[in-house]
């Protein structure tokens, strides 16, 4: 039993060191020393992401940044959020042959709730809140609270 305990402690210590090293690499590559990043997460390509100060990206977030994705200061992105700059036109067949890309801008002090989806070309204003599970298909004004599928404004802060 003692050997198993020692092995587990060694494994956990190595895992923490690996996670910390990986987080440091992301911070360096994104030039974001205050980025709070929880793994696993997926960002592709990394060069398409721009983050401000004190941004928090939780686990299981997917960011497809074929066009620029800009995230402002003090923004929190909860787990299982999907942010994508790419879609396909339903007017062109086969669908795979024509990808449409549009940039996404997320303002400062924004909170995006668990499981939300942000689609291409959307801009989310400063101090906005996106409710859990919402699908953001249009721009969100500053200070708005949006929920639903598609996301609709329910309150202004």
29 Cβ contact list (under 8 Å, min separation 6): 46
Find out whether 69 and 50 touch, Cβ atoms under 8 Å. Answer: yes
> Distance between CA atoms of 115 and 125, rounded to whole angstroms?
19
For residue 84, CA distances in Å to 20, 25, 34, 80 come to 26, 23, 23, 13
Sheet holding 36-37, edge to edge: 36-37, 56-57, 76-77, 111-112, 129-130, 144-147, 152-156
**Structure token pair of residue 157:** 């802060």
Catalytic residue numbers?
88
Does the CA dihedral 90-91-94-98 come out positive or negative?
negative
């Amino acid at each position: 039993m003692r050997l198993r305990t020692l092995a587990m402690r060694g494994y956990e210590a190595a895992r923490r060191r690996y996670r910390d090293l990986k987080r440091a690499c992301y911070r360096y590559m994104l030039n974001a020393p205050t980025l709070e990043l929880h793994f696993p997460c997926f960002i592709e390509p990394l060069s398409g992401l721009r983050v401000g100060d004190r941004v928090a990206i939780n686990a299981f977030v997917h960011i497809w940044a074929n066009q620029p994705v800009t995230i402002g200061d003090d923004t929190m992105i909860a787990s299982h959020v999907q942010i994508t700059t790419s879609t396909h036109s339903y007017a062109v067949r086969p669908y795979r042959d024509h990808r449409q890309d549009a940039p996404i801008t997320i303002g400062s002090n924004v909170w995006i709730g668990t499981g939300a989806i942000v689609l291409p070309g959307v801009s989310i204003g400063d101090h906005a809140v996106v409710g859990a599970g919402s699908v953001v298909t249009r721009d969100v004004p500053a200070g708005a609270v949006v929920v639903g599928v598609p996301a609709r404004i329910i309150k202004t802060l």
